[in-house]
Amino acid sequence: MASGSASLMWFRKGLRIHDNPALQYAAEGTKFLYPVFVIDPHYMEPEKNAFSLGSARAGLNRINFLLESLADLDSSLKKLGSRLLVLKGEPSEVLIRCLKEWEVEKLCFEYDTEPYYQALDFKVKNYASTAGIEVFSPVSHTLFNPTDIIQKNGGRPPLSYQSFVKLAGQPSSPLSHTLSSLPLVGDVGSCVISEVPTIKELGYVDIGQDESSPFRGGESEALKRLNEIINDKEWVATFEKPKGNPSAFLKPATTVLSPYLKFGCLSCRFFYQCLQDVYKNVKRHTSPPVSLLGQLLWRDFFYTVAFGTPNFDQMRGNRICKQIPWNDDDELLTAWRDARTGYPWIDAIMVQLRKWGWMHHLARHSVACFLTRGDLFVHWEKGRDVFERLLIDSDWAINNGNWLWLSCSSFFYQYNRIYSPISFGKKYDPNGDYIRHFLPILKDMPREYIYEPWTAPLSIQTKAKCIIGRDYPKPVVLHDSASKECRRKMAEAYALNKDLNGMVSEEDIRNLRRKLKEDPEQEAKNKRIR
DNA sequence: CTCCGGTTGTTCGG
DNA sequence: CCGAACAACCGGAG
């Protein structure tokens, strides 16, 4: 092949045509362009032992969302005279083989701050540099370059939203140029190329509409959704995140653009620009941190801290994370995970998570607080794993950041503020319509008992065709005593962290755990007799 | 060292 | 709808 004739666009996130600097650069001055996506079997292929349908790493809803996004990308590329080349295997091995086979001179892919991609990209860039291949890896998944912000702050990421905003300045603008055509795909040689697979082709059984996410993946869907939102200027101008209703499910109280941002079906820079256009044309509008635009800043905040904090996704060895003697109680964890806590508000949210792969931000708060510092005192890493698997918008930086936040391990420290698994939902949805929808076993429970069905007289339970303890579980803990106990443990743990100036060893944690267990009477009181 | 502010708690009183 | 008590946290600025 002639020199400079082939370039490879490696899609990972950034599954879009619009505002895609890597794609645009890949398409410039080349005869052939190879748009590639590598399916990592570990991420995509069925894993029997997982607690939900899906692969070792991802639940079926997110795999499906990704496949839909890839199919949409393929169709858009075809309209531009190209196509998506799908390959299977360990991504760096596959990619390096392609680079050799196609004599690629220019490799382009979006820069990624996640540890998984940092390690992967290191291998690929290493090969490219020895082979003399030009690499272009622009930052386009976030508004700002996390590296720049960390550098501006003296090498450490800012740990509060306000200090982040002060450092951030103006975000980068989306590309104004729209691609009208792409170079041809060259000969693929001996590389095995496939079409975007269906869920069945990957070895999954179809689970049916009722059990799966109502949100369809892809750039086209993202732009359609964005358009609908942007056209409702009043809604955009008055959006206030903390005032949203977590129990709204017929029409969610937020944009549900998060899964599209996660996979890069939607450019956050384009979204940012659209929001500013709306703000310019209205008399008044809400502002960060609570406005829609503020949500994009929060996203960048978490990306920046996550990138600049070693071991961000764990408690140990994480310098911004409080060391807390969390329980290692698998029974409580699985009750929470499988929607069997006996608190309808909590269980309904967990059902929505499993079926839809999405729930409102405040609903996430409610269940995360309940699992960790609020009631069960289970390690936030365990809850993080469940979210990471089941959410279609699961994003490494944001998911871990929010678990750190909600468990009062970092960013937020007012552990006395505990969401009530009873009153929090009730104030938005006194009739319990949300519960009735996601937990149909409780659909005939009268409204005065729907949030606390164990308090309903047996005659009422019988009439509602739901006996507590048989058809629906009794509460795994009593919120009043359990939350009080959690407060006590948090206070002790905080005191220890303060005394030791954050240098808490594993042994210190063990000792504290022993000390906190000295009150078995209290422990027993928290648990309901089952 | 002090002081201030912190996207999103709950309950009670007015 | 709004403020105060609850009990008192932290990061960041000065």
Alpha-carbon dihedral sign for residues A91, A92, A95, A97: negative
**Is residue A67 situated within a structural domain?**
yes
Q: Measure, in angstroms, how far nucleotide C12 C1' is from residue A97 CA.
A: 50
**What is the number of other CB atoms lying within 10 angstroms of the CB of residue A240?**
12
Same domain for A61 and A87, yes or no, is: yes
One-letter amino acid at A153 equals N
* Nucleotide nearest to A288 in CA–C1' terms: B7
Domain that holds residue A165: 142-174+220-308
Return the CA Rg of chain A: 25
Structure tokens at A400: 């871990």
Tell the residue number behind the tokens 């009739």, with chain if given.
A431
CA angle A300, A302, A308 (to 5 degrees): 100
**What is the number of other CB atoms lying within 10 angstroms of the CB of residue A530?**
8
The CA distance from A355 to A60, in Å, is: 10
Same domain for A271 and A134, yes or no, is: no
**What is the number of other CB atoms lying within 10 angstroms of the CB of residue A501?**
7
Q: Which of A92, A72, A80 is nearest to A16 (CA)?
A: A72
Residue nearest to nucleotide B11 (CA to C1'): A423
Residues 6+ apart with CB under 8 A from A280: none
Overall residue count recorded for chain A in this entry: 530
Total number of domains in chain A: 3
Same domain for A297 and A167, yes or no, is: yes
**What is the number of other CB atoms lying within 10 angstroms of the CB of residue A70?**
22
Q: Is A258 annotated as a binding residue?
A: yes
Footprint of strand C on the protein (CB under 7 A): A 158-160, 162-163, 166, 320, 413-416, 491, 494, 497-498
Q: Is A160 annotated as a binding residue?
A: no
Q: Measure, in angstroms, how far nucleotide B12 C1' is from residue A67 CA.
A: 52
Q: Is A178 annotated as a binding residue?
A: no
**Is residue A269 situated within a structural domain?**
yes
Same domain for A160 and A136, yes or no, is: no
pLDDT given at position A209: 74
**CATH code for the domain of A359:** 1.10.579.10
* Nucleotide nearest to A295 in CA–C1' terms: B7
**Is residue A211 situated within a structural domain?**
no
pLDDT given at position A527: 57
A200 close to A50: Cβ distance less than 8 angstroms: no
Same domain for A152 and A134, yes or no, is: no
- Which nucleotides in chain C lie closer than 7 A to a protein CB? 6-13
**Is residue A318 situated within a structural domain?**
no
Same domain for A394 and A477, yes or no, is: yes
Q: Measure, in angstroms, how far nucleotide B6 C1' is from residue A516 CA.
A: 30
Q: Which of A345, A258, A387, A302 is nearest to A113 (CA)?
A: A302
pLDDT given at position A208: 75
The CA distance from A60 to A50, in Å, is: 11
In whole angstroms, how far apart are CA A78 and each of A30, A31, A74, A99, A325?
Answer: 18, 17, 6, 22, 54
**Is residue A151 situated within a structural domain?**
yes
A467 close to A282: Cβ distance less than 8 angstroms: no
| Helix A268-280 / helix A219-231 crossing angle, nearest 10 deg | 10
Tell the residue number behind the tokens 């060893």, with chain if given.
A505
Same domain for A134 and A146, yes or no, is: no
**Is residue A187 situated within a structural domain?**
no
The CA distance from A206 to A184, in Å, is: 35
Q: Measure, in angstroms, how far nucleotide C12 C1' is from residue A374 CA.
A: 28
A165 close to A10: Cβ distance less than 8 angstroms: no
Same domain for A150 and A94, yes or no, is: no
Same domain for A379 and A440, yes or no, is: yes
Tell the residue number behind the tokens 């950034």, with chain if given.
A14
Q: Is A372 annotated as a binding residue?
A: no
Q: Measure, in angstroms, how far nucleotide B11 C1' is from residue A47 CA.
A: 47
- Which nucleotides in chain B lie closer than 7 A to a protein CB? 5-11
Q: Measure, in angstroms, how far nucleotide C6 C1' is from residue A480 CA.
A: 15
Footprint of strand B on the protein (CB under 7 A): A 160-162, 241-242, 244, 289-290, 294-295, 298, 361-362, 365, 405, 412-414, 416-420, 422-424, 427
Q: Measure, in angstroms, how far nucleotide B3 C1' is from residue A498 CA.
A: 20
Query: Phi and psi dihedrals of A487, rounded to 5?
Result: -55, -45
Residue nearest to nucleotide B6 (CA to C1'): A412
Same domain for A374 and A241, yes or no, is: no
Q: Is A301 annotated as a binding residue?
A: yes
Q: Is A300 annotated as a binding residue?
A: yes
A34 close to A7: Cβ distance less than 8 angstroms: yes
**Is residue A103 situated within a structural domain?**
yes
Per-residue pLDDT of chain A (530 residues; tens, 9 = 90+): 444 599 999 999 999 999 999 999 999 999 999 999 999 999 999 999 999 999 999 999 999 999 999 999 999 999 999 999 999 999 999 999 999 999 999 999 999 999 999 999 999 999 999 999 999 999 999 999 999 999 999 999 999 999 999 999 899 999 998 999 999 999 999 999 999 999 999 999 877 777 899 999 999 999 999 999 999 999 999 999 989 999 999 999 999 999 999 999 999 999 999 999 999 999 999 999 999 999 999 999 999 999 999 999 999 999 999 999 999 899 999 999 999 999 999 999 999 999 999 999 999 999 999 999 999 999 999 999 999 999 999 999 999 999 999 999 999 999 999 999 999 999 999 999 999 999 999 999 999 999 999 999 999 999 999 999 999 999 999 999 999 999 999 999 999 999 999 899 999 999 999 988 866 565 666 554 33
Same domain for A336 and A474, yes or no, is: yes
The CA distance from A314 to A404, in Å, is: 9
Q: Measure, in angstroms, how far nucleotide C9 C1' is from residue A514 CA.
A: 24
Helix/strand/coil (H/E/C) assignment for every residue in A253-315: CCCCCHHHHHCCCCCHHHHHHHHHHHHHCCCCCCCCCCCHHHHHHHHHHHHHHHHHCCCCCCC
Q: Which of A404, A427, A424, A336 is nearest to A375 (CA)?
A: A336
Same domain for A495 and A522, yes or no, is: yes
**Is residue A237 situated within a structural domain?**
yes
One-letter amino acid at A359 equals M
